[in-house]
């Protein structure tokens, strides 16, 4: 049985999706995703930021939530799964 990142994320309420991800295709590190929580210890409000190494100073907010719990985690997990299916390698990274 193939488990997706979302399955692994939701497997335990205590386990959280890593907040920082680097995704590369054929060795190029060109996609960076950051899961941002606006209040320490709370999962909302939140947002998912994206930037490309081609334009590292341009940060795009892909998703944000004020009241819907786990929305940012679910959306990021879905995007990481999509990229993986397309041949990208996505790995957690330390905050920069």
Host H or E run for residue 51: strand 46-52
| Residue 18 near residue 11, CB atoms below 8 Å | no
Backbone angles phi, psi at 75, to 5 degrees: -65, -40
Supply the range of the domain harboring residue 56: 21-92
Q: Is residue 28 included in any domain, yes or no?
A: yes
Mean pLDDT calculated for residue range 12-20: 60
pLDDT at 95 over 70: no
Assigned domain for 82 exists:
yes
Report pLDDT digits (tens) over 20-79: 999 999 867 689 999 999 998 888 999 999 999 888 899 999 999 999 999 999 999 999
Please give the tally of structural domains in the chain: 1
Asked whether residue 36 is domain-assigned, the answer is yes
Domain-located, residue 3: no
**In 3D, which of 90, 94, 70, 76 has the Cα closest to residue 25?**
90
Considering the domain boundaries, does residue 10 fall inside one? Answer: no
Task: Tell me if 42 is assigned to some domain.
Answer: yes
Q: Closest Cα partner for 19 from 72, 84, 64, 56?
A: 72
More confident residue, 28 or 90: 90
pTM tops 0.85, yes or no: no
């Amino acid at each position: 049985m193939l488990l997706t990142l979302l399955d692994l994320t939701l497997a335990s309420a205590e386990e959280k999706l890593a907040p920082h991800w680097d995704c590369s295709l054929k060795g190029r590190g060109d996609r960076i995703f950051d899961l941002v929580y606006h209040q320490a210890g709370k999962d909302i409000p939140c947002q998912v930021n994206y930037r490309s190494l081609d334009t590292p100073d341009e940060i795009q907010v892909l998703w944000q939530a004020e009241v819907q719990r786990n929305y940012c985690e679910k959306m990021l997990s879905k995007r990481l799964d999509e990229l993986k299916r397309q041949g990208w390698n996505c790995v957690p990274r330390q905050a920069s």
